[in-house]
Each structure stands twice: as structure tokens, then as C-alpha cells.
């Protein structure tokens, strides 16, 4: 469904990637200003650009190695900006969120941020060691962003952060174990000598 739509989009994949990043800046600002519903919508809107950039690249045969790097780097920045926006909103009192399990929500956001970065880093580091198919785990970026967006939209942002913090750390363990399994018994299907 995306392919026909993607052919109609007059923008380059890299422009779409950067636009998606710009929208995530707005999402972070919305959380800082204490507007979680707007923040949730903007996460989804940013996600559409993250879907479209690759879709346009494939539809127009404009896939580039740099585009892949730009997509991933912008994803990390977007993750960081959104979580930092939540932390800033909670600390400046605009985002009023009660503690969960006796832990301040800004701290849950910090755990979620570390977990999100480490999920992606584990994959990148394992792939640089030769692993393929490290896109495993219960909290890949799509799942994390959808949980966060729905948390903002539903009024359960605090619990969404708890879910992301817990699920992302489980995903790190899943990816480390998968990398260990691949690297200890390399096979053609899932290992490529770096
Ligand atoms: C409006 C239409 C025109 C657009 C239609 C799009 C819709 C089909 C999808 C809309 C879903 C949207 C809400 C997004 C939600 C997920 C998002 C928040 C999280 C991000 O997901 C990541 C996304 C893309 O992942 P990647 O970036 O890794 O993949 P690609 O970009 O495809 O490929 C990367 C690859 O491409 C090359 N490349 C890239 C960029 C570039 N510049 N150059 C390049 O060469 C290079 O090779 C790169 O390596 O994955 C998302 C997957 C899935 C489609 C989304 C999941 C849908 C979800 C279930 C929707 C539920 C949303 C929500 C529950 C609805 C609630 C509604 C609310 C209002 C109540
Ligand atoms: O799912 P995840 O591994 O946390 O994050 C992913 C990165 O590992 C990948 O490099 C990128 O292309 C994806 O868009 C997504 O950002
Ligand atoms: Mg993308
Ligand atoms: Mg991406």
C-alpha cells in the first residue's frame, strides 16, 4: 500500500528522514510544555515520515547506505529528544505525573531512555561484529514509540514509560543472547565475517 503512495511523494528519502526528525523535536517540546496528547500525536506523525523515507527509497530505487545511516541516527536523536522532553516537563512541573512504584516518573523516563539507546546500540555493535538478523526482541523501536504515543494519548504516560523501561531491558538481554548464539556458532544464514 505504501509503494504506490510513496511514488507520489515528490520529496527525497533523506528530506523525509529529516522532516520526521523535525516533527520529533515538536513532540519533545509538547511533552516539555505539559501537552502529552499532542506529544503522542506528534510521535505518530513523526513515525509516518520514518515509514515513508524507506518506502520512498524502495519505491523510487533511491536506497543509499548513507540514507540508512541518516535514518538510524535521526531515530536515536528522536528517541532522546522525546524522552528528554518528558523528563524536562516532569522536572519543571508542567507534566504532572505521580510516582509509579514509588519511583519518580522522570527517573522511569531515564531508565526508558537508557534502555532504548542500548537496544539499538546492541544491534549495531553485534551487526558490526558480523551478526545478521539482530532485529529481535519485544521492544524494538516501533513498539517503544507506539507504547509511548498511546501513553501520551491515553493519559497513562507514566505507565507507558515503565513498560518501555522494562521491555527495552528485556530486549537488550534478548539481543545479547542472540548475538552470543550467532557468534559462538556462526552460520551463513546469520553471520557475515566483518
Ligand atoms: C498517511 C500515509 C501517506 C502514510 C501511511 C503510513 C502508514 C502505513 C504507517 C503509519 C504508522 C505510523 C502511525 C507510525 C507508527 C510507528 C512509529 C511511531 C515508530 C517508527 O516505526 C519505524 C518504522 C520504519 O522503520 P525503519 O525506519 O527502520 O524502516 P524504513 O524507513 O522503512 O527502512 C529503512 C531503510 O530504508 C532505506 N532508507 C531510509 C531512509 C533514507 N533517507 N534513505 C534510505 O535509503 C535504508 O535502506 C534504510 O535502512 O517501522 C514501522 C513499521 C510499521 C509499518 C508501523 C507500525 C504500524 C502501527 C501498528 C500503527 C499503529 C499506530 C497507532 C496504534 C494508531 C493509533 C491512532 C491514534 C490516533 C489513536
Ligand atoms: O528497533 P531498534 O533496534 O531499537 O532501532 C532500529 C535501529 O536499530 C535501526 O538501525 C534503524 O534502522 C531502525 O529504524 C530502528 O531505529
Ligand atoms: Mg525510516
Ligand atoms: Mg528509522
pLDDT in tens, 115-157: 999 999 999 999 999 999 799 999 999 999 999 999 999 999 9
| 71 labeled binding residue | yes
- Residue 194, domain member (yes or no): no
For the cut 60, the answer to whether the pLDDT of residue 183 exceeds it is yes
Residue 79 is assigned to a ligand binding site: no
Report the distance separating Cα 182 and Cα 189, nearest Å: 10
138 CB under 6 A from ligand 1?
no
Ligand nearest the Cα atom of residue 47: 1
CB 131 within 8 A of CB 191: yes
Query: What pLDDT score does 193 carry?
Result: 85
Q: What is the pLDDT of residue 7?
A: 78
Write out the residues surrounding ion ligand 3, Cβ under 5 A.
50, 53-54, 71
Q: Is the pLDDT of residue 4 over 80?
A: no
What is the structure's pLDDT at 145? 98
Residue 190 lies in a domain: no
Q: Say if 91 falls within a structural domain.
A: yes
Do residues 18 and 134 touch, judged by C-beta distance below 8 A? Answer: no
Per the prediction, the chain carries an average pLDDT of: 95
Tell me how far apart the alpha carbons of residues 107 and 90 are, in angstroms, rounded to a whole number. 10
Which ligand neighbours the alpha carbon of 54 most closely?
Answer: 1
Q: Which atom of ligand 2 is nearest to the CA of 142?
A: 1
Domain for residue 189, yes or no?
no
pLDDT tens-place string over residues 153-172: 999 999 999 999 999 999 99
What is the number of residues in the chain? 194
The closest of 158, 20, 154 to 78, measured between CA atoms, is 20
Nearest ligand atom owner, CA of 76: 2
Whether residue 14 has pLDDT greater than 60: yes
Give mean pLDDT, residues 16-34.
Answer: 98
Q: Which residue range is the domain that position 31 belongs to?
A: 1-181
Identify the CATH number of the domain in which residue 138 sits.
1.20.120.1760
Q: Is 149 exposed, middle or buried (0-12, 13-18, 19+ CB in 10 A)?
A: buried
Confidence class of residue 2 from pLDDT cuts 50, 70 and 90?
A: low
Mutate to test the pocket of ligand 2, among 65, 137, 138, 140 (most ligand atoms within 8 A of CB): 140
What's the pTM value of the predicted model, to 2 decimals? Answer: 0.92
Where do we find the cell 501520551? 152
Instruction: Please report, rounded to a whole number, the percentage of residues in the chain having pLDDT higher than 90.
Output: 89
In a domain, 32, yes or no: yes
pLDDT number for residue 5: 75
In a domain, 139, yes or no: yes
* Number of domains within the chain: 1
- Indicate the DSSP class of residue 11: S
pLDDT at 80: 98
29-38, 43-52, 164-173, 180-189: range with lowest mean pLDDT: 180-189
As a whole number, mean pLDDT of residues 88-113 equals: 97
Q: Is the pLDDT of residue 1 over 60?
A: no
**What spacing in Å lies between the alpha carbon of 141 and ligand 2's midpoint?**
6
> Is a pLDDT exceeding 80 seen at residue 3?
no
**Residue 192 placed within a domain:** no
Q: Is 140 in the pocket of ligand 2 (CB under 6 A)?
A: yes
Report the pLDDT value the prediction gives residue 8, as an integer from 0 to 100. Answer: 84
* Residue 166 counted as domain residue: yes
78 Cα–ligand 3 center, Å: 12
Amino acid at each position: 500500500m505504501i509503494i504506490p503512495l510513496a511514488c507520489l511523494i515528490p520529496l527525497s528519502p533523506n528530506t523525509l528522514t529529516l522532516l520526521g526528525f523535525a516533527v520529533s523535536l515538536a513532540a519533545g517540546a509538547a511533552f516539555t510544555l505539559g501537552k502529552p496528547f499532542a506529544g503522542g500525536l506528534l510521535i505518530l506523525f513523526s513515525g509516518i515520515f520514518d515509514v515513508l523515507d524507506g518506502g520512498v527509497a524502495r519505491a523510487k530505487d533511491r536506497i543509499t547506505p548513507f540514507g540508512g545511516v541518516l535514518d538510524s541516527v535521526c531515530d536515536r536523536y528522536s528517541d532522546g529528544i522525546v524522552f528528554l522532553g518528558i523528563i524536562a516537563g516532569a522536572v519543571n512541573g508542567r507534566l504532572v505525573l505521580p510516582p509509579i512504584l514509588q519511583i519518580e516518573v522522570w527517573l522511569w523516563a531515564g531508565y526508558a531512555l537508557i534502555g532504548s539507546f542500548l537496544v539499538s546500540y546492541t544491534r549495531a555493535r553485534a551487526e558490526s561484529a558480523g551478526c545478521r538478523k539482530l532485529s529481535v526482541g519485544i521492544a524494538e523501536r516501533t513498539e517503544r514509540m507506539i507504547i509511548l504515543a498511546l501513553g501520551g494519548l491515553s493519559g497513562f504516560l507514566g505507565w507507558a514509560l515503565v513498560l518501555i523501561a522494562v521491555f527495552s531491558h528485556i530486549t537488550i538481554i534478548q539481543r545479547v543472547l542472540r548475538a552470543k548464539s550467532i557468534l559462538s556458532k556462526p552460520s551463513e544464514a546469520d553471520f557475515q565475517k566483518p
